[in-house]
Amino acid sequence: MSDTLEQLFAQSGHDAYFGEPVTQLEHALQCAHLAEQAGADTETVVAAFLHDIGHLLPPELSGDYMDGYGTVDHEKLGADFLREQGFSEKVAQLIEHHVNAKRYLVFKHPDYFARLSEASVKTLAFQGGPMKPGEALAFETNPYFRGILQLRAWDEQAKIPDLPTPNMAHYLKMAEGLV
């Protein structure tokens, strides 16, 4: 399992994280590190590490592209890929809904939109724009709602050039322990 994940990062981890000053691997490591520092449980730390794995899947497994900002539905592709690999529904859902978290926060907190990075604003339109009120209410009932919003916050912070973090082996080992 962790061989597959390691390969995906080896193949594409050094690509830029769309329009941000870090690579895909740096972004993943920083996101996981932030979760770990916050005292999150192992499933949440692993979800943070793997939340963008859908962007690293080979083209035959992925769908349409968003004008240079990655794959449409990368969150769903990534979650389904990890379900197939034997990860829990919690790990899968934290990943599957990290884009919905942005759509929810834009709906709920108008000032949140102003804090989004340029790349995040560009992808929002491809991702369905802000949630509608009914959609937001339903989203709040997701059993992992709080964790999903936490992951979103770490995701947005994990764009710091040259931030020291634990290495990939550390998080691959954690992932291995879950399947």
CA distance 139 to 135: 6
Of 45-53, 61-69, 102-110, 117-125, the window that binds Fe ion (rule: CB under 5 A) is 45-53
Nearest CB to Fe ion, comparing residues 102 and 137: 102
User: At closest approach, how far in Å is the CB of 52 from Fe ion?
Assistant: 4
User: Binding residue for Fe ion (CB under 5 A) from 20, 26, 36, 52?
Assistant: 52
**What angle separates helix 168-176 from helix 24-37, to the nearest 10 degrees?**
70
Residues in binding contact with Fe ion, number by CB under 5 A: 2
Tell me which H or E stretch contains 10. helix 2-12
Q: Mask 116-155, x = binds Fe ion (CB under 5 A)?
A: ---------------------------------------x
3-state DSSP assignment of residue 138:
helix
User: At closest approach, how far in Å is the CB of 141 from Fe ion?
Assistant: 24
User: At closest approach, how far in Å is the CB of 24 from Fe ion?
Assistant: 9
CA distance 150 to 152: 5
Looking at residue 142, the DSSP 8-state letter turns out to be: S
Looking at residue 16, the DSSP 8-state letter turns out to be: B
Residues that bind Fe ion (CB under 5 A): 52, 155
